[in-house]
């Protein structure tokens, strides 16, 4: 059987896509809008996507579709239940950003704990030049050594973040949650993690159960000196609540790499935050050159494994 493979978002993967070895035809599009999906996948047996939404109304118009290869770990863009009902296999990417995401987490953590943005602004504004001493102390500087790192989500990224934290001499707590749970990870009640952590880093998938996992009550439960990092998914933290928490000084700062809607073409209140204790990056924690190539290779591996009857990384 010859497969028809269509990649809808080639510009989302900045890496070499190696040729598939089975009999097939291949078409790729740099990007695809919602109203182009059905037409472009009309004859496809295998769809390769990243963030394109494939919900039941769209899937119902694609009777030839047999497999969806998601070029990401998160697959909330796919209606998994509808795929299961229609016998469509869905595979995602596993463990490809185990270094780049934790490193990005700590880039944000260090910048916030040491108030690098605020100090840079002071230098740009001439404060150092006017200082009577060789340095000045306009903002607090916090060490990571001896502080507590709370991690929500104990997958590869959460555990990678924990390893770096321990390297800094941090005490690491994993927040307890419903099964499934990783082996050999000691859990601490969620409320205790909120109360005791100096840094909280979120590494959970976005599901109906985890949406708004951290809202105003959880932010109020955190230390006033704590910082919150989200490199996982927008929607895990209530954005309006975060702004209120920063306004009221409920937490000391936050570093985010994700928003609820991406790209934020219609705006987002977090885009307007210009305070030095909030850092927003454009969903690039995952995107180191090495990680991107690993993703591209595994993406093709997932397709070939399914075609040869040895599927891997299936979510349904």
* C-alpha triplet 48, 36, 60: angle, nearest 5°: 75
Burial classification of residue 34, based on how many CB atoms lie within 10 Å of its CB (0-12 exposed, 13-18 middle, 19 or more buried): exposed
Handedness of CA 55, 61, 63, 64 (dihedral sign): negative
- The SS3 of residue 91 is strand
Q: Please enumerate in sequence order all residues whose Cβ is within 8 A of that of 5, keeping only pairs 6 or more positions apart, or say none.
A: 20, 24, 25, 26, 27, 44, 45, 46, 48, 303
User: Can you tell me the distance from the alpha carbon of 43 to that of 247, in angstroms, rounded to the nearest whole number?
Assistant: 52
Concatenated DSSP letters of 153-191: --SHHHHHHHHHHHHTT-EEEEEP-SSP--TT--EE-HH
CA-to-CA separations, 32 to 7, 46, 93, 152, 287, in angstroms, rounded = 9, 16, 21, 33, 20
Cβ within 8 Å of residue 281, ≥6 positions away: 104, 108, 255, 256, 257
Residues tagged active-site? 233, 262, 283
Of 76, 44, 48, 15, residue with least CA distance to 207: 76
């Amino acid at each position: 059987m010859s497969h028809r493979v269509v990649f809808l978002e080639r510009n989302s993967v900045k890496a070499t896509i190696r040729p598939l070895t089975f009999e097939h035809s291949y078409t790729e599009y740099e990007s695809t809008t919602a109203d182009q999906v059905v037409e472009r996948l009309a004859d496809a047996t295998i769809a390769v996507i990243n963030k394109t939404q494939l919900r039941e109304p769209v899937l119902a118009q694609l009777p030839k579709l047999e497999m969806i290869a998601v070029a990401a770990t998160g697959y909330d863009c796919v209606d998994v239940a509808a795929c299961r009902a229609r016998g469509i296999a869905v595979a995602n990417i596993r463990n490809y950003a185990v270094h780049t995401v934790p490193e990005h987490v700590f880039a944000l953590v260090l910048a916030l704990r040491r108030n690098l943005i605020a100090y840079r602004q002071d230098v740009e504004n001439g404060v150092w030049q006017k200082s009577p001493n060789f340095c000045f102390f306009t903002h607090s500087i916090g060490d990571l050594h001896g502080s507590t790192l709370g991690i929500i989500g104990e997958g590869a990224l959460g555990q990678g973040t924990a390893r770096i934290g321990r390297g800094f001499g941090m005490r690491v707590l994993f927040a307890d949650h419903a099964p499934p749970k990783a082996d050999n990870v000691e859990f601490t009640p969620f409320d205790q993690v909120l109360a005791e952590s100096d840094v909280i880093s979120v590494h959970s998938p976005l599901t109906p159960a985890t949406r708004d996992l951290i809202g105003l009550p959880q932010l109020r439960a955190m230390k006033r000196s704590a910082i919150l990092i989200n490199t996982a998914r927008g929607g895990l933290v209530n954005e309006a609540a975060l702004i209120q928490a920063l306004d009221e000084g409920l937490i000391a700062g936050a570093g985010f790499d994700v928003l609820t809607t991406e790209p934020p073409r219609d705006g987002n209140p977090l885009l307007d935050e210009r305070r030095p204790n909030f850092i927003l990056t454009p969903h690039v924690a995952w995107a180191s050159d090495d990680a991107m190539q690993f993703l591209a290779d595994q993406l093709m591996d997932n397709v070939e494994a399914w075609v040869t009857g040895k599927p891997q990384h299936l979510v349904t």
